[in-house]
Amino acid sequence: MSANADWLARSQAAVWHPCTQMRHHAEQASPAHLPLVPIARGAGPWLYDFDGKRYLDGISSWWTNLFGHAEPRINAALRAQLETLEHVMLAGFTHQPVVELSERLNALTGGALGHAFYASDGASATEIALKMSFHYWRNVGRPEKAEFLCLAGSYHGETVGALAVTDVAIFKDAYAPLVRHAAHVLPSPDFRLAETGETPADIARRAAAGLADWLEKNGERTAALIVEPLVQGAAGMAMHDPEYLRLARQLCDRHEVHLICDEIAVGCGRTGTFFAHEQADIRPDLICLSKGISGGYLPLSVVLCSDTIYNAFLDDSVARAFLHSHSYTGNPLACRAALATLDIFATDDTLTVNRRKAQKITAALAPLAAHPQVAHLRQRGMIAAFDVSTADPHFSRRFYRAALDAGALLRPIGNTVYLMPPYVVGDDEIALLGQVAGQALEIALR
């Protein structure tokens, strides 16, 4: 038995893999069969299995990895931190990495969202932002503000609380009876929904009109609107014009409703600016960050909030305080990985370098634009996507398999194929991703 096959069999028997019908791993004969890929090590944008085959990580290992696997500078920072302090509880204690990271994040918001609250995953960050918003309104004497708004196709995590603002059927439907106060779902500004003659800005304005209508009637009892700025990832890289965010900001101000930007996927330079919302020239009241913030190394999430929100919790009464905690809140190793990641943005001038890489990605996918079954080729910074028209319910798995065979990790969302590589991807590797996408498309459509 090859080393790969051994790990594969042992994993199948003992590990319950996420977001997976485990039978699809076991039944090799099924058209739905998904190969489980045992990874021995990573280096830069490449992952290596136990038999020496390598895969180009075209989706940054679920959108987390920014500067490649086993990045030497992040490794060195973590080694040093390991020798100093691996963890201490954050209630009643503090430490260097969490203070420095909070200061750096504050500076990245221009000082506007200067208070950082920590957790370990994105779904928890979503729940923290929702709880903070609700509790803020309660603290200022507006307890009736207890409803949330999200966009059609929104994804903000899969814990029972976060599912309330997630609108992706495959994640939500089975658990609908558990989700207690589902948020109101608003029309999405996704520019694929534009009617003939409508520009992306037009559909943004049309979607914002829906928000305006809702707030006119229900603003009094609405606490917050949560959005994935510019790109709704799990919806299938649904992109919208920044105009939507500008209008949403104005409407939220008018109706005294918080604007929460979930930058878990789009933050950390993914769309071209450090935060996606910067492209609309607005400031949210709350920001959720996770995924890339630790460079894809360790579970870490952060909620950043304004002075106004923070100050409403200051009081002699414990009940007005934000009584929320996770055991690993502000873990020093995770914060150190995040600091090393932010250092790389500065020393490598990542945002500038990425502008050129984004053009290479555009060029690598350009030949597919003419394909008769490809539609809506679109891009925002280091995210590029297209939709494939096919009635085959197994398209996504067949494409994924064909891409793996050709040496790249590309995992479509339904019929949407996307590239979201680590920022260290080289020009030749970008070209390879384009080639593999074209090849896998032909095989999957056969």
Ligand X SMILES: *Cc1c(COP(=O)(O)O)cnc(C)c1O
Q: Rounded CA gap, 24 and 161, in Å?
A: 29
Only segment of 27-35, 75-83, 203-211, 261-269 that touches ligand X (CB under 6 A): 261-269
Q: Is the dihedral of CA 69, 73, 78, 83 positive or negative?
A: positive
Q: Is 433 in the site for ligand X (CB under 6 A)?
A: no
Q: Rounded CA gap, 101 and 115, in Å?
A: 11
* Nearest residue (CB) to ligand X, 74 versus 420: 420
Q: Which of 95, 115, 156, 246 binds ligand X (CB under 6 A)?
A: 156
Q: Rounded CA gap, 262 and 344, in Å?
A: 23
Residue 155 annotated in ligand binding: yes
Q: Rounded CA gap, 374 and 386, in Å?
A: 7
* Interactions with ligand X, residue window 69-128 (CB under 6 A): 121-123, 126
> By the 8 A CB rule, do 27 and 33 touch?
yes
Q: Is 243 in the site for ligand X (CB under 6 A)?
A: no
Residue 402 annotated in ligand binding: no
Q: Is 231 in the site for ligand X (CB under 6 A)?
A: no
Q: Is 264 in the site for ligand X (CB under 6 A)?
A: yes
DSSP conformational letter for 419: E
Only segment of 37-45, 65-73, 151-159, 276-284 that touches ligand X (CB under 6 A): 151-159
Give min distance, CB of 162 to ligand X, in A. Answer: 7
Q: Is 190 in the site for ligand X (CB under 6 A)?
A: no
Q: Rounded CA gap, 75 and 72, in Å?
A: 5
Paired tokens of 424: 């260290």
Q: Is 233 in the site for ligand X (CB under 6 A)?
A: yes
* Nearest residue (CB) to ligand X, 237 versus 440: 237
Only segment of 91-99, 259-267, 270-278, 349-357 that touches ligand X (CB under 6 A): 259-267
Q: Is 290 in the site for ligand X (CB under 6 A)?
A: yes
Q: Rounded CA gap, 394 and 303, in Å?
A: 37
Tell me which H or E stretch contains 303: strand 301-305
Buried b (16+ CB within 10 A) or exposed e, 347-358: eeebeeebeebb
> By the 8 A CB rule, do 122 and 165 touch?
no
Name the residues that contact ligand X, by CB under 6 A.
121-123, 126, 155-157, 228, 233, 262, 264-265, 290-291
Report the binding-site residues for pyridoxal 5'-phosphate.
Answer: 122-123, 262, 326-327
Report the binding-site residues for substrate.
Answer: 62, 155, 291, 325, 411
